[in-house]
Amino acid sequence: MSDITELIMGLPCFKAPSNITPLGGGITNTNVTVVDDDCQYVVRIGRDIAEHGVMRWNELALSQAAYHLGISPKVIYHDTGILVLEFIDGCTFDETAVRQSENLIRVISLVAKTHRGIGKFLNSPILTFWPFQINQTYMSRLEKDGSPHVSKFMVMKRQLEVLEIATGPVKLVVGHNDLLAANILDDGKQLWLIDWEYGGFNTPLFDLAGLAGNNGLSFLQEQQMLEQYFDQNWQKYWRPYNAMKCVSLMRETLWSMVSELYSEIEFDYAAYTLENLNRFDSAMLDFKNT
């Protein structure tokens, strides 16, 4: 923590930073809150992460666009490995909060607003987040680096081929691509979407599938979500959506497997891998019945 304090004390955006406090919940970056000149800020500390395709210039571009759309905090300062943001005084959702009917409607509206509006505020190129390629890349890296999970990949590769065919042609939007409950904040007036490090062009089905798979939505809630997002034509998306739900959960599982090998964050990635692998297996069974 002394190294972080020294780093923050030297940032030119602050006059006299104090109350430097670790912010829990991050499983990719180190996050701390800072008070300066009677205002509170969040400092995100994290390098590019090649094994996860995280490029900080991409995160910055999307964070700035999301602020101008009105769904994310303002970027105060940025430098290599550093992102300083305004602090949002609100509660962080958990999975139970996301599943509450009144909250879920708001979250889906937030996702739709993101997809339909954020691209208008981009001022530079951004990455494409294509989950089929990402999952294949993860498995290749894990095989090369001797992951203990390698025996699962022969089946997973065949499943990935089936899921890509079932997904079919897609429409591209600018997506968040990491819709964990912890990335949604509620200040009592509106919802905020934070942490844009995996943002990029993708099918809207990925965010919707990630929202459902990561937060344990029920079968009925999934249908209501698609109906709210797509309106009257939602039924035609049902099978592609279920395919993408499997792809999203496979990606979260492989992400965790990679993190087991590389991450220096103190987090039980092995348990997280098992949790998501069980969710993925369950989603594959549901997909086969669609």
On the question of pLDDT at 26 being above 80, the answer is no
The CATH code of domain 2-86 reads 3.30.200.20
Instruction: Please report, for the chain, the start and end positions of each structural domain, with discontinuous segments joined by +.
Output: 2-86, 91-288
Q: Which of 84-93, 174-183, 228-237 has the lowest mean pLDDT?
A: 228-237
pTM of the model: 0.93
pLDDT digits (tens, 9 = 90+) for 122-163: 999 999 999 999 999 999 999 999 999 999 999 999 999 999
Q: How confident is the model at residue 29 (pLDDT cuts 50, 70, 90)?
A: confident
Strand-pair category, 200-202 with 82-86: unpaired
Task: Tell me what the mean pLDDT of segment 84-112 comes to.
Answer: 97
Q: Give the pLDDT score at 83.
A: 97
The encoded tokens of residue 256 equal 């965790």
Mean pLDDT value across residues 253-282: 94
Rounded Cα distance between 248 and 240, Å, is: 12
CATH of domain 91-288: 3.90.1200.10
d(CA 245, CA 191): 23
| Distance between CA atoms of residues 73 and 194, nearest Å | 8
User: Has residue 205 got a pLDDT over 90?
Assistant: yes
Looking from the CA of 219 toward its CB, the CA atoms found within 13 Å total 7
Binning pLDDT at 50, 70 and 90, where does residue 25 land? low
Which is nearest to 86 in space by CA: 15, 13, 165?
13
In the numeric block, which tokens belong to residue 77? 């300062």
Rounded to an integer, what distance in angstroms lies between the CA atom of residue 158 and that of residue 109? 35
| pLDDT > 70 in the chain, percent | 98
From residue 231, give the alpha-carbon distance in Å to each of 170, 191, 227, 228.
17, 22, 5, 5
pLDDT band at 30 (very low <50, low <70, confident <90, very high): confident
